[in-house]
Amino acid sequence: MGISELPVLALIGLGVTVSLYAGKLARRAGLPSLIGYLVTGVLMGASVSGVVSLHTLESTRFITNIALGFVAFSIGTELSALSLRQLGSSIVLIILFESFMAFLVVFGAVFAVTGGDTAVAMVFAALAPASAPAGTVAVIQEYRARGKLTKALYAVVGFDDGLAILIYGFAAAFARSLVSTQVQGFWESMLLPAREILLSVGLGALMGILYTVLSRRLRTSTEIPALTFAFIAMTAGVAVHFHLSLILACMGIGFVLTNSTPRPAVNRIVMQNRNLMPLVFILFFFLAGAHLDVAALPALGLLGVVYIIARSSGKITGAWLGGRIGGAEPRIRKYLGMGILSQAGVAIGLSLILAQDFARIGTPQADRIASMVVTTIAATCVIFEVVGPLLAKRALRLAGELGREQEDD
């Protein structure tokens, strides 16, 4: 029996063990541990050794969803109304500018490189604003970063997911209208993202209220993590079943908790949950690496390179411009854009949805776009998942917000 034929749980256990030590090696090389977890996943994944097959990955999807739920919950606990007020209106402007600048710059660049293909440019622009919060949060927690840039990063990677879904909904609907002769239901399809966001926020608020009430009655260090796991699993399950935003829903639990509970009590809950986070990050990034299709990299091509450069410049420039107009501190407007470049699950998920929608249209142009977008986004996400956390660490270091112990290491 080969390694790939081991039971799923045995493969996950093997992956976690190897990832743990790969993460330690990455740290010794001055890299975030998650790079070691990602590389382990890639090497054991279907696109390299095949130890972890696509069938195995499909059966572990719920683990990825729960891990992402924990990441979103931890973001929510950092978003107190007081800290958001201290950041001021600049944080709203940063989120707006970095998202729309990524959209506009990618649209212009892809439009130019494809010789004026509006539909293709709109499709890639629709996917550009989406970020992956897990990489940024993992770096923040591993290096115990503290400061105003750290708070701003939590807010941006949390809230820009909602705006990215809205932008995607409108842009994808417009792109579909360009390649389809059927325009019926156009406005209805553009209202779906707003519905998704409202229902996601509503689910998060409801579960957050229940979690907060129940958590106040618990005291021991084993009870709080159990309750947190239960609520994140329930919320993630409902969100996935009804095609809502898992990130917004689980973030809502933490947001309600931190804004309705005294800070010492919130800190107690956060500290009791913190021991789970290293395992969460190992599982998430190992499985994320196993999902990454390295074989798609040779197909990156000019379009992929242009997309990477345009999205990165749009995010960084937009964050700087929004911070400048909003009067943000120099370190926030200088370095925040570097910390939000990771892109993975949300973008890949949206690209798959978009490809399915375009494939149903049935025209040659729609089929071509459907194939093109999945291949290109899969390849560029490999780059962003590796480079994004490295730049997030650099941004925090330049801002002087890395924990002293980790800087000494």
Among residues 83, 72, 76, 69, which one has the least CA distance to residue 146? 83
Residue 256 confidence class, pLDDT cut points 50, 70, 90: very high
* Whole-number Cα distances in Å, 320 to 31, 333, 337, 341: 26, 4, 7, 14
Do residues 314 and 104 touch, judged by C-beta distance below 8 A? yes
In the chain, domain spans: 1-59, 64-279+299-401
pLDDT digits (tens, 9 = 90+) for 45-76: 877 878 888 777 778 888 888 988 898 898 88
Amino acid 267: pLDDT: 83
Amino acid 188: pLDDT: 61
Whether 2 has a pLDDT exceeding 60, the answer reads no
* Whole-number Cα distances in Å, 309 to 47, 113, 261, 314, 379: 25, 13, 43, 8, 14
- Crossing angle of helices 301-326/90-113, nearest 10°? 150
Amino acid 409: pLDDT: 45
Whether 13 has a pLDDT exceeding 50, the answer reads yes
Quote the mean pLDDT of the chain.
83
- What does the pLDDT average to over 301-330? 90
pLDDT digits (tens, 9 = 90+) for 102-151: 999 999 999 998 888 888 898 889 888 888 888 888 888 888 888 889 98
The mean-pLDDT minimum among 140-154, 170-184, 193-207 falls in 170-184
- What does the pLDDT average to over 338-360? 77
- What does the pLDDT average to over 336-345? 84
Whether 294 has a pLDDT exceeding 50, the answer reads yes
pTM: 0.79
Highest mean pLDDT pick, 140-144, 176-180, 243-247, 268-272? 140-144
Do residues 66 and 284 touch, judged by C-beta distance below 8 A? no
- What does the pLDDT average to over 284-295? 79
Level-2 CATH architecture, domain 64-279+299-401: Up-down Bundle (1.20)
Task: Round to whole Å and give the CA distance between 275 and 132.
Answer: 22
Residue 5 confidence class, pLDDT cut points 50, 70, 90: low
Residue 220 confidence class, pLDDT cut points 50, 70, 90: low
Amino acid 10: pLDDT: 87
